[in-house]
A and B are shown apart, each in its own frame.
Chain A
């Protein structure tokens, strides 16, 4: 008997195994890669092992003794893997700007020397007298780091190792993260305000009228995001269709600022994301028996009251899942704010993209991604609480 159950279970497990493999490959593995990129910090110690051993004892004052210099020269002479060395250089330059050209000058000098033991770093480049390069070197040696995750929230460790805020002039990740959430919330509210009546209207109609309304929502999904954003660009610009029309009928004298500001971003994103709001609400409303509204009216509720007491509460699950979808997708937006937004509408994805593609600083890109993931997970949990408790009894 037990064997039979076991067999059945293993059979079921076997059937779902493709899903599990899919999850592991496309979800868990990238997530793990992101976490390791943010915290593992062995690029420098791998290439410069002797320096790592020698610099540990340095107290961070002035510059280290000659032994550390010798170790560094030995390491650089021995380093043959260009790509590994390149990663170490990138990591160091990210901590102390200027390390790139400093090593760019030092490495060829060390390799060209007939006797590397005689190389004096200070004569190769006087910048080796600068404490901040040696500090960066020392701080890059431990195999794990919290610098990326700290930098992602505008913090860093000072000389003594305690965590301090970075100056407001130096970094604005937190502000950009908050702005991202704010824009996503604005878009969600705008989508809900348009999507709810729209879905109700579509659900109340029949035949070709309904098809036309639904098609109007779904059709834009088949057009590329870039094309739709560009179309809004043409509509919203100072000499665009909207401003021209308003000026022609004499409503305004000078063009309204519709583009390169928050308004332009919200308008375009709302349009792009509207299907994600309309479709869930629509499908929920379709499931509501049509005679409920008539029943409410027969019991004396006016149309407004019937809407508030019957239709709206029953369509709430659709509204909530639509809002969640829109909000989650909106958080990751990148192209629309870049093309239609102004200086203050940049969202966090563009910052992540800069570190990932611009400077190959995958550690910081991963850390910013992690912060984004944590924030969304927290919001999702709150939403989960909220949506189960607001379930209408008897619905």
Chain B
């Protein structure tokens, strides 16, 4: 009996001590979260490591695949274990409305006027302008596809097609393939008939679609010849062309572009360092280094103007690339993503 009591006591005490050790280790280093792959490799080289050197404190980085539920869970859990996160426009809008992010100190960022208007909000500042576009391997396709109608044309271009799994970045392209002019895509999609029309158009291509989920997958699908065309993020395409000598091409008309932003998690213990990091990454002379590694547009106007002309032509923000491109409608998706995703799953399962 005595022994049992003692043993149990020792057990609980050990657990307590171990627990305390874990909690005390939580005074942790600045943690920055981005989207992984060759994009985050570039960020590490030009933002994370130089910032760590400048401040003399270690910087940790992690990657994620998005989702407001991830942010919400971290906030609900108490002190979040992330500090700075790069979020998509929907996560910015949702999280800012729901109080998941700290308000930014715009005086440290050079003022709101220094940025594209779409890259400015109370909780976030634009990090990149990126595009989802029709991509193909120019070494495999003799004739270049021009539009989403070509993407749907399996007679002219036999073979499979890659698509991001989910209604976003699928319904829009289906409507354009069906002849809706790019500027009207979201207007049509806001009506029940428009949604039916998009799903009907997707029906045509369904047997030929390979669905992907993370941004690195379409590159692999193209490289292995598994698909002849795919939707992909433009920066990753230029990145793989550079690092692996591929000849992948992007079709700009009909592409969808969006802005990713830096935010600071509410209640971050490293709030000041987080703000300093965001300011550091958005100084024009630092931001301008990005396109050399990966072809994303820069929301800081001074940085965007300073990009050399030979890199400029691959960026989503180049005027000739913006012709016929559509800005992603974040409002449409925060309203409709749940219902459309349910319908999309049902459509997939049919």
Q: Bound state CA distance, A18 and B9, in angstroms?
A: 10
Say if the beta carbon of B206 comes within 8 Å of chain A: yes
0/1 string, A164-192, CB within 8 A of B gives 1: 00001111100110010000000000000
Select from chain A the residue with minimum beta-carbon distance to B93: A104
Interface residues of B in 308-350 (CB under 8 A from A): 331, 334-343, 345-350
Query: What chain B residues lie within 8 Å of A104 (beta carbons)?
Result: 93, 97, 331
Q: Bound state CA distance, A77 and B337, in angstroms?
A: 28
Say if the beta carbon of B272 comes within 8 Å of chain A: no
Say if the beta carbon of B49 comes within 8 Å of chain A: no
Q: Bound state CA distance, A179 and B210, in angstroms?
A: 19
Query: What chain A residues lie within 8 Å of B67 (beta carbons)?
Result: 357-360
- Check A343 against B348 for contact (C-beta < 8 Å): yes
Query: What chain A residues lie within 8 Å of B213 (beta carbons)?
Result: 338
Interface residues of A in 1-25 (CB under 8 A from B): 7-8, 10-12, 14-15, 17-18
Query: What chain B residues lie within 8 Å of A238 (beta carbons)?
Result: 224-226
Interface residues of A in 94-118 (CB under 8 A from B): 94, 97-101, 104
Query: What chain B residues lie within 8 Å of A7 (beta carbons)?
Result: 1
Query: What chain A residues lie within 8 Å of B97 (beta carbons)?
Result: 82, 86, 89, 104
Say if the beta carbon of A356 comes within 8 Å of chain B: yes
Select from chain A the residue with minimum beta-carbon distance to B217: A339
State how many angstroms separate the Cβ of A339 from the closest Cβ of chain B. Answer: 8
Say if the beta carbon of A130 comes within 8 Å of chain B: no
- Check A354 against B341 for contact (C-beta < 8 Å): yes
- Check B335 against A14 for contact (C-beta < 8 Å): no
Q: Bound state CA distance, A362 and B99, in angstroms?
A: 18
Query: What chain A residues lie within 8 Å of B226 (beta carbons)?
Result: 237-239, 259
Say if the beta carbon of B273 comes within 8 Å of chain A: no
- Check A170 against B338 for contact (C-beta < 8 Å): no
Query: What chain B residues lie within 8 Å of A171 (beta carbons)?
Result: 342-343, 345-346
- Check B5 against A11 for contact (C-beta < 8 Å): yes
**Of the candidates B4, B211, B339, which one forms a contact with A15 in the assembled complex, judged by CB atoms under 8 Å apart?**
B4
Select from chain B the residue with minimum beta-carbon distance to A174: B349
Query: With A82-B99, A351-B345 in contact, do A343 and B11 touch (Cβ < 8 Å)?
Result: no
Q: Bound state CA distance, A110 and B336, in angstroms?
A: 24
Q: Bound state CA distance, A14 and B211, in angstroms?
A: 54
State how many angstroms separate the Cβ of A209 from the closest Cβ of chain B. Answer: 38
0/1 string, B2-33, CB within 8 A of A gives 1: 00110110011001000000000000000000
Query: What chain A residues lie within 8 Å of B93 (beta carbons)?
Result: 104
Q: Bound state CA distance, A300 and B139, in angstroms?
A: 69
Q: Bound state CA distance, A179 and B346, in angstroms?
A: 13
- Check A359 against B337 for contact (C-beta < 8 Å): yes
Query: What chain A residues lie within 8 Å of B343 (beta carbons)?
Result: 169-171
**Of the candidates B5, B75, B209, B338, which one forms a contact with A93 in the assembled complex, judged by CB atoms under 8 Å apart?**
B338
**Of the candidates A99, A101, A354, which one forms a contact with B331 in the assembled complex, judged by CB atoms under 8 Å apart?**
A101
State how many angstroms separate the Cβ of A102 from the closest Cβ of chain B. Answer: 8
Interface residues of A in 346-365 (CB under 8 A from B): 346, 351, 354-362
Known A15-B8, A169-B347, A343-B209; 8 more pairs at CB < 8 Å: A82-B99, A87-B98, A93-B335, A99-B335, A176-B349, A260-B210, A346-B349, A360-B72
> Measuring CB to CB, which residues of chain A are less than 8 angstroms from any residue of chain B?
7-8, 10-12, 14-15, 17-18, 81-83, 85-87, 89-90, 93-94, 97-101, 104, 168-172, 175-176, 179, 237-240, 259-260, 338-339, 342-344, 346, 351, 354-362
Q: Can you list 9 residue pairs at the A/B interface with Cβ under 8 Å?
A: A14-B5, A82-B97, A86-B98, A172-B348, A344-B348, A344-B349, A360-B67, A360-B68, A362-B69
